[in-house]
Structure 1
């Protein structure tokens, strides 16, 4: 099995997601879960920023800007999805 990059941070993010889901359940807009995740991650001592601008570089040229739902510890991008059921079509994002 492949080792995750930034495994310790990733495990904290997954734990935070379960905690947010356990407390809030399903039914809110993505923005509510995004903010709740930020609160939970910060309560765990992790730096977490909402929609920080990230420059996209292609062959040494800036070709755009990306705003992830959360940037954790400046190394892990988190995309929040709100759906009643898991959808594998969301994985590429």
Structure 2
């Protein structure tokens, strides 16, 4: 796979831990086992835009007060939504 940063081939799918600020800005949480990409050439670890959008949308749609300091990606995605979709995303 081609790396989005260095544009060389050698990027692979991985799961890693990320830290994300909640939409209200009150704190950041640790999200483990997050789908990510790692480039063997430049060493960059990053999330695809689609994964970033999924994380940000989910954090807007759920009650974040019920989340502790750390959660797995799947547990986060499984949280019940308060709204059907992110009405602030216009794309």
TM-score of Structure 1 vs Structure 2, range by shorter chain: under 0.3
Per the normalisation by structure 1, the TM-score is: 0.25
- Relative to its length, the structure with more strand (as a share) is 2
- Relative to its length, the structure with more helix (as a share) is 1
Per the normalisation by structure 2, the TM-score is: 0.26
